Amino acid sequence: MNRKKKINQTLKNKAKKANAKLQTSNKPKYIAKADREALPLGVLPESLPCDSIA
């Protein structure tokens, strides 16, 4: 690979990564299955003591 091609490839890859970071996602944040089951009850696992989870 000649020098110009390698430099251009490096710069393209850097620009591509920088552009990818700027893109935002409309995807909703993942909620674990246990958390989804607790949501209708209005109780999140973080608020429960460790003894009641087991």
Q: How confident is the model at residue 14, as a pLDDT?
A: 97
- Listed in order, strand segments (DSSP E) in the chain are none
Q: How confident is the model at residue 49, as a pLDDT?
A: 55
Integer Cα distance of 10 and 3 in angstroms? 11
Q: How confident is the model at residue 13, as a pLDDT?
A: 97
Q: How confident is the model at residue 43, as a pLDDT?
A: 58
Integer Cα distance of 18 and 29 in angstroms? 22
Q: How confident is the model at residue 53, as a pLDDT?
A: 53
**Do residues 45 and 35 touch, judged by C-beta distance below 8 A?**
yes
Q: How confident is the model at residue 40, as a pLDDT?
A: 77
Low-confidence ranges of the chain (pLDDT < 70): 42-54
Neighbours of 11 (CB within 10 A): 10
